[in-house]
Amino acid sequence: MEQSQSVSTTTATRGTRTPRLSAIQLPDWLNSILHNRKASIGIIILLFFVLVALFAGQITSIEPTKRVGRPHEAPSAEHIFGTTRDGKDVFSQVVHGARITLFVGFLTGTNLILIAIIMGLTAGYVGGVVDEILSLITNVFLILPAIPLVIVVAGWLDRPGPGTVMLVLTAISWAWGARVLRSQALTLRNSEFVAAAKVMGEPTWRIIIFEILPNMVSLVVSSWIGAVQFAILALVTLEFIGLGDVNIVTWGTILFWAQNNQALLTGAWWTFVPPGVCIALIGLSLTLINYGIDEITNPRLQKHEGGAK
């Protein structure tokens, strides 16, 4: 007959896997991220730039669009990054430029992923005819070359502002994310806990939101970071070739004007190196965060506690 004593808990009590940060009780996932070197470095860099963007006005009192010095002054104590051809302070431009670049970049990336989630999740979970139609649409958008198409559309729109650029980018480049998320949704749909939820009588919408989506978090997060990275770089690219609104201050437009003003020929490296380095650092930080998340999620998948044959 059934054992009346309770099933031993000796093996099962493992608690958290990573040491907690002193006295603060942080959730497991946050702990893992903070303990991962790559992710931490990436987050620090990203946070740095976010803070710079937020407090641009406090960091420098010089206005980015005002003529404050002689043209093409080399970096000095007064102008840390020197001045542009028009005598505007490069440091101030970089600091203020971070705002639009980062904000529009993040917003675009987020919109991209939202569309990708809706398209991918629906196609993957519902299946059938719906899947075929959505996949067809996704595949069409997938083969459209995003950057050239954006260039063409942006050119046709005649110097669109960042908002418009954001819309164009979003409309064209959601397809890759949708495809990735669809295939994971497909896998999850066939998992036994989804079958168990069905047998339990859970309605479809609950299954999608509470059973499937939570299991896609790490993929969604890493896709989102990838999307933000793509958006920022695409934005900068467009602005650099002059397709954005060249009168606003963003990292891309700084580069545009630098190129326009023959920075290389005149040796005014300070007009393009600082923004370039910032762009590279942002890209690096996002990549590091993604690598870090990869490292965290993969070993966890491999750790299987006992019980199987």
Partner 1 sequence: MTTTTQPWAVGRTLVRDVTEPLLTVRDLEVEYRTRRGVVRAVDHVSFDVYPNEVLGLAGESGCGKSTIAHAVTRILKPPAYITGGKIMLGGVDVLAMNEENLRGFRWEHLAIVFQSAMNALNPVITIGEQIVDAIQAHMNVTRREARQRALELLETVGIDPKRIDSYPHQLSGGMRQRAVIAIALALNPELIIMDEPTTALDVVVQKQIIEEIQQLKRQFGFSIIFITHDLSLLVEMSDRIAIMYAGEIVEIAPSRQLFESPQHPYTQRLMNSFPSISGARQTLKGIPGAPPDLSDPPPGCRFHPRCDVAIAGRCQEVHPALREVKPGHWAACHLLDQEVSK
Partner 2 sequence: MTTTAQQPESETALGSQQQNGLLPVLEARNLTKHFYTGNALSRRVVKAVQEASFKLYRGRVTALVGESGSGKSTIVRMLARLYEPTSGEILFDGKNVLQERGRMASLLYRSRVQMIFQDPFSSLNPVHKVKYNLERPLRLYGFHVGVRGKQAIQEQIGELLRRVSLTPVEEFANKYPHQLSGGQRQRVAIARALAVQPEVILADEPISMLDVSIRMGILNLMARLRDEQGIAFLYVTHDIASARYFSDEILVMYAGHIVEGAGSEELIQNPKHPYTQLLLSAVPDPARGLRTADVEVEGEIPSLAALGAGCPFAPRCPHVMEKCHAAMPPITKLSDTRWTRCYLYENDGAASKAAS
For binding to partner 1 (CB under 8 A), which residues are involved?
Answer: 1, 3, 5, 7-8, 10-12, 14, 17, 299, 306-309
Binder to partner 2 among 19, 27, 128, 306 (CB under 8 A)?
A: 306
The minimum distance between CB 297 and partner 1, in angstroms, equals 14
The CA–CA distances, whole Å, from 53 to 102, 240, 264 equal: 8, 20, 27
Q: Is 22 in the site for partner 2 (CB under 8 A)?
A: no
Interface with partner 2 includes 304 (CB under 8 A)?
Answer: yes
Residues 273 and 58: their CA atoms lie apart, in Å, by 23
Question: CB–CB of 234/173 below 8 Å?
Answer: yes
Q: Least CB distance from residue 3 to partner 1, whole Å? A: 5
Kindly tell me the burial class for residue 29, based on how many C-beta atoms sit within 10 Å of its own C-beta (0-12, 13-18, 19 or more).
middle
User: Do residues 109 and 96 touch, judged by C-beta distance below 8 A?
Assistant: no
214 binds, among partner 2, partner 1, none (CB under 5 to 8 A by kind): partner 2
CB of 70 to partner 1, least distance (A): 58
299 binds, among partner 1, partner 2, none (CB under 5 to 8 A by kind): partner 1
Positions of E strands within the chain? none
Give 78's contacts (C-beta < 8 A, 6+ positions apart). Answer: 69
Torsion angles phi and psi, residue 88, rounded to 5 = -90, 150
Site for partner 2 in 176-235 (CB under 8 A): 191-193, 195-203, 211, 214-215
Q: Min. distance of Cβ 218 from partner 2 in angstroms?
A: 11
| Helices 175-189, 128-143: crossing angle, 10 deg rounding | 150
Q: Residue 199 binds what, of partner 1, partner 2, none (CB under 5 to 8 Å, by partner type)?
A: partner 2
What is the rounded end-to-end Cα distance, in angstroms, of the chain? 24
Identify any residues that bridge with 83 across adjacent strands, giving them in sequence order: 89
Q: Is 11 in the site for partner 2 (CB under 8 A)?
A: yes
Does 6 engage in binding with partner 2 (CB under 8 A)?
A: yes
Partner in contact with 145, chosen from partner 2, partner 1, none, beta carbon below 5 to 8 Å by kind: none
Q: Does 61 bind partner 2 (CB under 8 A)?
A: no
129 binds, among partner 1, partner 2, none (CB under 5 to 8 A by kind): none
In angstroms, rounded to a whole number, what is the distance separating the alpha carbons of residues 89 and 78? 9
Q: Looking at beta carbons only, is 25 or 304 nearer to partner 1?
A: 304
Binding residues for partner 2, rule: CB under 8 A, are 1-7, 9, 11-14, 191-193, 195-203, 211, 214-215, 303-309
